[in-house]
Amino acid sequence: MFCLDINLRYSNLNFLNKKIMNVFKKIALVITVIVMFASCQSKPDVNKILANNETRKELIDSIATNSKMSNEMMEALMNRKNGNMMQEYHQKMMKMMKDNPEMKKNMMEMSKSDSSMVCPMCGKMMGNDHMMDTIKKMHD
C-alpha cells in the first residue's frame, strides 16, 4: 500500500510538472510572437541614420555606384523645389553663355583642361531621357 501511494504521488507530481511546463511553453511562445511582430513593425528613423556622417556617406556612395538608384535620385531631385531652382540656375547660365559666346568658349576650354570640373554625373544625365528632354526644353 505504501509503495502504491508513493507511485500515485509521483505520477500526480509528474502530471502536474508537465502541465506547468506546457503553460510556460505557451506563454513563451506568445511572448516570442509578440516581440517578433513588434520588431517587424518599427520603421528606421531616417533622421538618426542621416545624422551619422559615416552612415550617410555610405548611403550616398551606394546610390552613386548603382546606376538605377542614381537615376531614381536624379528624378527625385528634379521633381523637388531644389530641382526647379537648379533648372532655373541652369537656364540663367545657358542664357549668359548664349549672350556671351566668348564666356561659353572659355568655360568649355577650362572644363576640358580641369578634370575636377568634369562632372561624373554628366554621363548619367546623358543616359536619362527625362533629363535630356528637360535640358533640350531649356535650350529652346
pLDDT of residue 29: 93
Do residues 123 and 132 touch, judged by C-beta distance below 8 A? no
Q: What percentage of the chain carries pLDDT values higher than 70?
A: 71
pLDDT-derived band at 10, boundaries 50, 70, 90: low
C-alpha cell at 1: 500500500
Residue 86 is classified by DSSP as: H
End-to-end CA gap in the chain: 109
Sketch the domain layout of the chain as residue ranges. 1-69
* pLDDT, tens digit, 9 for 90 and up, residues 56-99: 889 888 888 888 888 888 888 777 776 667 777 777 877 887 88
With pLDDT > 90 as the criterion, what percentage of the chain qualifies?
A: 5
The CA–CA distances, whole Å, from 7 to 18, 21, 28, 114, 124 equal 16, 21, 31, 95, 82
